[in-house]
Structures are given as structure tokens and as C-alpha cells.
């Protein structure tokens, strides 16, 4: 099959991950980028080695563009996804896919109506190790799920928020430690534990001059009866690796950073990568906990390759719009619970 033409919308930090993913995928080629700042169009074209369109409409009008990777500020994601769908382009949109459930639903509907694929860049779902955990749960190896916890002790200096006017704002960032950083880990928690029936939460801003929260905590009751907790911050210097722990009646798994550090899945050990013995394990790198660039491009590479295959074979992508909506709904429910002081059912 001919290579699909990809365009990257936005030329910020995440664009380089998309560019590397596209160049690493046999069925994809980068044909254009979009940057609205007229003073940086030529610079951006030289950086990516393809034409840079200042106008998003002009980018969408290009016949060589089959797929659009949306990597702009979060508040633009839904509108740009909808416009791409109406132009007949498939979409890979960065997290969060929208800032409201109404906008997420509109983006999903627009892609369905246009007959194009919509994938969301929650790339940790593509990791073979984390997929093995999901397989263990699906086969019943952990038994009935009992408890799921997430800890996100990240650091983002004030300079990170000051680097762009949209960062740390409700209008364009949509939230802080939960919406921007935590949504990746909340997505994994939902994938493993199932839907949340009820959430209680607290948010605060302790160490930054921003509109949104830099610290949050929540307790969860899952639809299957299991319980859970979330603790997240972007104020824990110098930054530490996140942790996800899931436990069932017959076993459990502990994830730290991008590694499974401990697991007990009796009778089904082959489903999970064998963790290193605790005594021989080097300290887990802080990774994304210390820096937004503290991750590799492997996850985006797998997502782009999967999207190419999904388009060519007309099947749903690995992380669909509906799945991206689930994580967004949980974050928004946490904000509502924190605002009202009441338990909230995610929408």
C-alpha cells in the first residue's frame, strides 16, 4: 500500500515525538506541518524538512495529507479534530482529546460521520509490558479486582508554566497535575480496574503561580466494587517516578516508571515480564517525573504504526476516541468533586 501522508499540527515539544514516530513507520510519511506564528513558519519548515502552512485550513486542503497529528495546546484539540474530520482526514490527537465531555463527544461524532479514524495519544497502553498486565487481568489471573492506586510525585518548575501563555490555565490547559500529567496514568488505571462508579477528590495549588492545581488527591469506588486512590503533584522536587499498583484476590502488579518492579500472578507467570530481584534493581529513573521530555518516542511510534494499520484495514485504533473520553471523564469528575465537596459519578 502507498504510504499515508501525515501532517503535524503544532510545532511545540510533542511535535518531535510525532515526527520521529512518522519517520519510523513504514507506511507513513511526513508531508507538512502547521504553525500559526508567521515569524516562525520558515524556521519550522526547515526544522521538519517539509512545507509549513501558517493556515490550518490550507493544511487541511492539501490533497497529500491523509492523517493529522494534533499537538497544539489542549484547548484547541477538539475544534481542530472536528475540522480535520470534516476535511476527510484521520486524526491522532494528543491527550486530553478535549477539555469538556461535550467537545469530546462532538469530536467523536464528527469522525464517525466523516468515516475517519480517531486515535488518542495515551501511548502507555501500547507498551507490551503494560499490555501483558491487561491480558493477565482479562484472563482472570489476578482474580476479582480489589484495589488500584496511582501515585504521581512529579516536578514542573515555574519556568515550565511560564514557557507558554496557555500552560497552567483553565481555558487552554484544562487543569494541572491531573489533566496534563496524571491523565496518562489514570487511563491505565481505568484500563486495568474498569469504570469508576464514584469519586471524591481534593485539589490545591501549593508551589506555583498558576490558575490550576499542582496537587490533588482522590478516592475511587469502581463499578466492580474495588476501591482506589490517586495522589498527584507537580511540586515534588526533584521529581520521582510514578507508581501504579493493582491488586486482585489472587495476585497483584506494581509498576514504577515504565517498568514492572514486582508481580505475583500464580500459575500465569508467563503473561508478565519477570521483574528484577529487588536487591539487584537499580533505582528507577524519574523519567517524566523530572521532565516532560523524560520519555522516549517508542509509545508514539507504536501508536502511529497502529493507526496506519487501523486505517488500511478499517478497524478501530488501539486507543480510540471513546477510550480517550473515559480518561477525560474521570479527570473532570475529580475536578467537580473537588469543587463541590461531594462524591461525583463520572459522565
Tell me what the mean pLDDT of segment 64-78 comes to.
98
Q: Which residue has the higher pLDDT, 129 or 274?
A: 129
pTM across the whole model: 0.96
Tell me what the mean pLDDT of segment 11-37 comes to.
97
CA–CA dist 163, 56 (Å, integer):
23
| Residue 171 pLDDT > 80 | yes
Q: Are strands 196-204 and 215-222 parallel, antiparallel or unpaired?
A: antiparallel
Q: Which value, to the nearest 10 degrees, does the dihedral of the CA atoms of residues 291, 295, 299, 304 take?
A: 70
Task: Provide the percentage of residues in the chain whose pLDDT is more than 70.
Answer: 99
Residue 267 confidence (pLDDT) = 80
Residue 136 confidence (pLDDT) = 94
Rg (CA), the chain: 20
Reported as half-sphere exposure (CB side, CA atoms, 13 A), residue 85 has a value of: 23
CA angle 116, 121, 126 (to 5 degrees): 105
Q: Which of 67-81, 222-236, 282-296 has the lowest mean pLDDT?
A: 282-296
Backbone angles phi, psi at 173, to 5 degrees: -90, -30
| Residue 275 pLDDT > 80 | no
Q: Which residue has the higher pLDDT, 58 or 2?
A: 58
| Residue 281 pLDDT > 80 | no
Residue 143 confidence (pLDDT) = 96
At residue 1 the predicted structure's pLDDT band, cuts being 50, 70 and 90, is confident
Q: Which residues, in sequence order, are bridge partners of residue 264?
A: 252
Q: Are the C-beta atoms of residues 71 and 10 closer than 8 Å to each other?
A: yes
Residue 57 confidence (pLDDT) = 98
CA–CA dist 212, 45 (Å, integer):
34
Q: HEC profile for 228-242?
A: EEEEEECECCCCCCC
Residue 100 confidence (pLDDT) = 98
Listed residue (125, 102, 85, 68) closest to 347, CA to CA: 102
Residue 9 confidence (pLDDT) = 98
At residue 22 the predicted structure's pLDDT band, cuts being 50, 70 and 90, is very high
Q: Are the C-beta atoms of residues 120 and 93 closer than 8 Å to each other?
A: yes
Q: Give, for 58, the enclosing helix (H) or strand (E).
A: helix 56-61
CB-based contacts of 125, cutoff 8 Å, min separation 6? 131, 187, 188, 191, 318, 319, 323
Q: Which residue has the higher pLDDT, 284 or 219?
A: 219
| Residue 280 pLDDT > 90 | no
At residue 283 the predicted structure's pLDDT band, cuts being 50, 70 and 90, is confident
Tell me what the mean pLDDT of segment 277-301 comes to.
89
Whether cis (ω within 30° of 0) applies to the bond prior to 113 is no
Residue 184 confidence (pLDDT) = 98
Query: pLDDT per residue over 310-340, tens digit each?
Result: 999 999 999 999 999 999 999 999 999 999 9
CA 301 centroid distance within chain: 14
Q: Are the C-beta atoms of residues 123 and 224 closer than 8 Å to each other?
A: no
Q: Which residues, in sequence order, are bridge partners of residue 4?
A: 28
Tell me what the mean pLDDT of segment 227-254 comes to.
97
Whether cis (ω within 30° of 0) applies to the bond prior to 52 is no
Query: pLDDT per residue over 39-70, tens digit each?
Result: 999 999 999 999 999 999 999 999 999 999 99
What do you get for the CA distance between the two ends of the chain, in Å? 40
At residue 266 the predicted structure's pLDDT band, cuts being 50, 70 and 90, is confident
Question: Which domains does the chain show, CATH number per domain?
Answer: 4-124+297-319 (3.40.50.720), 125-290+327-340 (3.30.360.10)
Backbone angles phi, psi at 220, to 5 degrees: -125, 145
Residue 273 confidence (pLDDT) = 81
Q: How far is CA 46 from CA 6, 10, 43, 61, in A?
A: 17, 15, 5, 21
Across the chain, mean pLDDT equals: 96
- Within 10 angstroms of residue 54's Cβ, the number of other Cβ atoms is 15
Query: pLDDT per residue over 111-151, tens digit each?
Result: 999 999 999 999 999 999 999 999 999 999 999 999 999 99
Q: How far is CA 294 from CA 1, 14, 126, 291, in A?
A: 35, 12, 17, 5
Amino acid at each position: 500500500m502507498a504510504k499515508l501522508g501525515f501532517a503535524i499540527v503544532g510545532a511545540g515539544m510533542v511535535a518531535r515525538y510525532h515526527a520521529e514516530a512518522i519517520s519510523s513507520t513504514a507506511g507513513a510519511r511526513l508531508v507538512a506541518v502547521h504553525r500559526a506564528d508567521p515569524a516562525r513558519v520558515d524556521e519550522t519548515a526547515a526544522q521538519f524538512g517539509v512545507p509549513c502552512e501558517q493556515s490550518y485550513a490550507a493544511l487541511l486542503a492539501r490533497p497529500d495529507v491523509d492523517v493529522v497529528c494534533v499537538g497544539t495546546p489542549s484547548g484547541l484539540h477538539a475544534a481542530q479534530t472536528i475540522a480535520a474530520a470534516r476535511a476527510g482526514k484521520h486524526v491522532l490527537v494528543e491527550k486530553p482529546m478535549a477539555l469538556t465531555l461535550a467537545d469530546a463527544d462532538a469530536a467523536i461524532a464528527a469522525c464517525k460521520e466523516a468515516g475517519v479514524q480517531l486515535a488518542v495519544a495515551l501511548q502507555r497502553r501500547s507498551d507490551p509490558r503494560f499490555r501483558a498486565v491487561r491480558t493477565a487481568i482479562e484472563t482472570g489471573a489476578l482474580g476479582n479486582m480489589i484495589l488500584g492506586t496511582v501515585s504521581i510525585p512529579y516536578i514542573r518548575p515555574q519556568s515550565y508554566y511560564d514557557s507558554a501563555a496557555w500552560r497552567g490555565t483553565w481555558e487552554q490547559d484544562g487543569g494541572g497535575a491531573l489533566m496534563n500529567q496524571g491523565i496518562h496514568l489514570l487511563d491505565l488505571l481505568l484500563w486495568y480496574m474498569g469504570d469508576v462508579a464514584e469519586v471524591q477528590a481534593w485539589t490545591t495549588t501549593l508551589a506555583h503561580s498558576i490558575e490550576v492545581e499542582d496537587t490533588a488527591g482522590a478516592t475511587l469506588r469502581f463499578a466492580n466494587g474495588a476501591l482506589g486512590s490517586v495522589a498527584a503533584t507537580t511540586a515534588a522536587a526533584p521529581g520521582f517516578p510514578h507508581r501504579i499498583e493493582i491488586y486482585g484476590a489472587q495476585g497483584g502488579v506494581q509498576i514504577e516508571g515504565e517498568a514492572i518492579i514486582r508481580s505475583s500472578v500464580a500459575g500465569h507467570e508467563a503473561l508478565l515480564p519477570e521483574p528484577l530481584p529487588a536487591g539487584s534493581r537499580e533505582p528507577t529513573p524519574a523519567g517524566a517525573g523530572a521532565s516532560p521530555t523524560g520519555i522516549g518516542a517508542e509509545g508514539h511510534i507504536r501508536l502511529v504504526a497502529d493507526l496506519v494499520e487501523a486505517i488500511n484495514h478499517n478497524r478501530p485504533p488501539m486507543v480510540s476516541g471513546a477510550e480517550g473520553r473515559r480518561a477525560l471523564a474521570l479527570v473532570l469528575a475529580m475536578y467537580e468533586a473537588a469543587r463541590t465537596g461531594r462524591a461525583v459519578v463520572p459522565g
